[in-house]
Structure formats: C-alpha cells, structure tokens
C-alpha cells in the first residue's frame, strides 16, 4: 500500500487561507469517506483535526475544515495563525488495510 500523496510544503501569511491536498486512489481516498487529518508540532504526538472527511472533534477550531472530491481529500485552514505552523498528515481507510498515511505537509506561516 503506497502512502497518500501530499505536497511537501505549503505556506501562507497570517489571516490567509491555505489548502493541503491528499491524493490517493479509488482503493482508498476515492472509495471511502474515511479520511482523517492530523497536526503534528515538532517533537510532539499528532493531534486529530478532522475525521470522516469533514468532521471536527470538539475543541478543534472552526478554521480547520475538510472535504473530498474523487481521489483527493483536502484540508483547508482559514485565517491562518502562527500556531498553525506544523506538519500535517492525512490518513485513509483502504481496501487492504485500515489505515494508510499521507506523506506529510509542512505548513509555514510567513
């Protein structure tokens, strides 16, 4: 099972919106609405941001949103803040395994 493809880096200025893509196949992202997103600051454990494509756990700010079209899922951060500078990972259910992670995206706040 190959890792889902994410851009290596995305950047934006405070207050702007950015979108991180997560591209898979019809055997994972495209075949199920079971995509989650995690935020990881350096040296810390990942934190759940989005599950089931577009649902936020309680406590996650509303500026984080998720969506999916075909084989590509997306995480949008609206009103970018300095504390959003971190690495972001998607994961999806697959036909052969409960999880495959994305390659990860480093978000830089300019």
Beta bridge partners of 49: none
Given the complex with other proteins, which of 84 and 91 has the nearer CB atom?
Answer: 91
Q: Which is nearer to other proteins, 43 or 62 (CB)?
A: 43
Our CB check for other proteins shows the closer of 17 and 33 to be: 33
Burial of 73 (0-12, 13-18, 19+ CB in 10 A): buried
Nearest Cα neighbor of 21 from 87, 62, 76 is 76
Shortest spacing between CB 15 and other proteins, in angstroms = 29
Distance of CA 30 to the CA centre of its chain: 15
Chain residues binding other proteins by CB under 8 A are 1, 3, 33-36, 38, 44-48, 51-52, 57, 89, 91, 93, 96-104
């Amino acid at each position: 099972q190959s890792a889902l493809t994410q851009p290596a880096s995305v950047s934006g200025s405070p207050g702007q919106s950015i979108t991180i893509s997560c591209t898979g196949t019809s055997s994972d992202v495209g075949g199920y609405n079971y995509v989650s997103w995690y935020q990881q600051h350096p040296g810390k454990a990942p934190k759940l941001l989005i599950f089931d494509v577009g649902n936020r756990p309680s406590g996650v700010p509303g500026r984080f949103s998720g969506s999916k079209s075909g084989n590509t899922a997306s995480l949008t951060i609206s009103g970018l803040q300095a504390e959003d500078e971190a690495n972001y990972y998607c994961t999806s259910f697959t036909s052969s395994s409960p999880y495959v992670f994305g390659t990860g995206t480093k978000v830089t706040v300019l």
